[in-house]
Amino acid sequence: MAIREIREIGDEILTKKSKEVKEMTPRIQELINDMIETMYETNGVGLAAVQVGVLKRIVVIDCSEDGEGLHVLINPKIVETSGEQTGPEGCLSVPGKSGNVTRPNYAKVVYLDENMQPAELEGTELLARAICHECDHLDGKLYVDLVEGDLVDVRTEE
């Protein structure tokens, strides 16, 4: 496994639409493993393949405190949403910034797992927000376009 470089806002690739994954290959499995490692290393709660420069419809998410809530979603498609939540959001591709975004408070997503088997995931609150944010990346969308009010600077650890 390896940490991959995260593409940042201004990089044209982040505005592009990612392509569906047709089959699992050793190369894609390696990409997924690297995405997981990169997400944990950078203390992110989610990462889309495009953020490491690969235009494939793959996202990894872990919103848990203990790092035990990992989800790997291939070709995810949001099929149901409800409710509304407004709160601060950030993105590894927009370092040091945060802004308020309104998202559904519930989201249900269907996807393929790492064995390319159909699966589904339901999330509320932070998980619903992460599902929506990461799926947006696959369509070339960044949260900064949804921010209500100003994008603010956040203090970073280092």
Measured from the CB atom, the residue of 70 and 116 that comes closer to Ni ion is 70
Active site residue 148: no
If we measure between CA atoms, which residue out of 111, 92, 112, 99 comes closest to residue 156?
Answer: 92
Cα distance between residue 40 and residue 149, in whole Å: 29
Residues 6+ apart with CB under 8 A from 48: 18, 58, 59, 134, 137, 138
CB of 5 to Ni ion, least distance (A): 15
Q: Does 131 bind Ni ion (CB under 5 A)?
A: no
33-52 residues near Ni ion, rule: CB under 5 A: none
Measured from the CB atom, the residue of 91 and 107 that comes closer to Ni ion is 91
52-111 residues near Ni ion, rule: CB under 5 A: 91
Contacts with Ni ion by CB under 5 A: the residue count is: 1
Residues 6+ apart with CB under 8 A from 152: 97, 98, 99
Measured from the CB atom, the residue of 91 and 109 that comes closer to Ni ion is 91
Catalytic residue among 80, 125, 134, 148: 134
CB of 91 to Ni ion, least distance (A): 3
**CA distances for 85 relative to 16, 81, 107, 141, angstroms:** 27, 12, 12, 19
Cα distance between residue 156 and residue 97, in whole Å: 9
Return the residue nearest Ni ion (CB atom).
91
Cα distance between residue 92 and residue 97, in whole Å: 9
CB of 122 to Ni ion, least distance (A): 21
Structure tokens at 50: 């495009």
Measured from the CB atom, the residue of 44 and 111 that comes closer to Ni ion is 44
| Residues noted as catalytic | 134
Residue ranges binding Ni ion (CB under 5 A) = 91
